[in-house]
Amino acid sequence: MKASDSSHQIAGGTILGIDPGGEITGYGVVRKSGGITRMIACGTSRARPEESLPDKLCRIFNFIRELIDLHQPQFLVVEDIFYGKNVQSLKSIGQVRGVIILAGGLAGVPVHEYSPREVKKAVVGRGDASKEQVQRMVQAVLGLDAPPKPFDAADALALALCHSHRCL
């Protein structure tokens, strides 16, 4: 389901944001209620050097399903593939995105996609914002004591915030 599909607008809910990566996949969970958005959790799943591609994809699929089971999100938001990365990186991210989308679909959670530029514009106000600017704005919007780390977790929270701003 594309982000432009606004048929799922509700007053609040839990959003699971996923920043897909071949080596590091970030996640961020936010809950919006009464116009206030709070962070529930964030972190990463890291590949092990000895992992084969099938093992890595299975691990990510199971990780996403665990997050869905734990947090019961109403929405899963994943970063859309963008151009400018090398072909191998795009291929890897595409495969990771596929298992993330599959995990959400099998769990019955609507999946939305946003480009990095859309996320930066929604959270920072500029589509060309740096990772540090996104990290600091996520900290400010969610009222966190420190910027969320690593960048992959901050980006996942930014994805969830983008969807929160646009659809809830």
Question: Which of 19, 80, 113, 155 is an active site residue?
Answer: 19
Look up 51 and say whether it is catalytic: no
**Model pTM?**
0.91
Q: Quick check: is 5 catalytic?
A: no
- 152 is a catalytic site residue: yes
> Taking Cα atoms as reference points, which of 101, 75, 72, 58 lies closest to residue 17?
75
Instruction: Dump pLDDT digits (tens) for 85-136.
Output: 678 788 889 999 999 999 999 999 999 999 999 999 999 999 999 999 999 9
Q: Where do the structural domains in the chain lie, given as residue ranges?
A: 13-167
- The CATH superfamily label for domain 13-167 reads Ribonuclease H-like superfamily/Ribonuclease H (3.30.420.10)
Q: What is the mean pLDDT of the chain?
A: 91
Q: What does residue 123 show for φ and ψ, rounded to 5 degrees?
A: -90, -40
In the set 69, 79, 128, 132, the catalytic residue is 79
Catalytic residue among 80, 113, 152, 155: 152
State the Cα–Cα distance between residues 115 and 75, nearest whole angstrom: 16
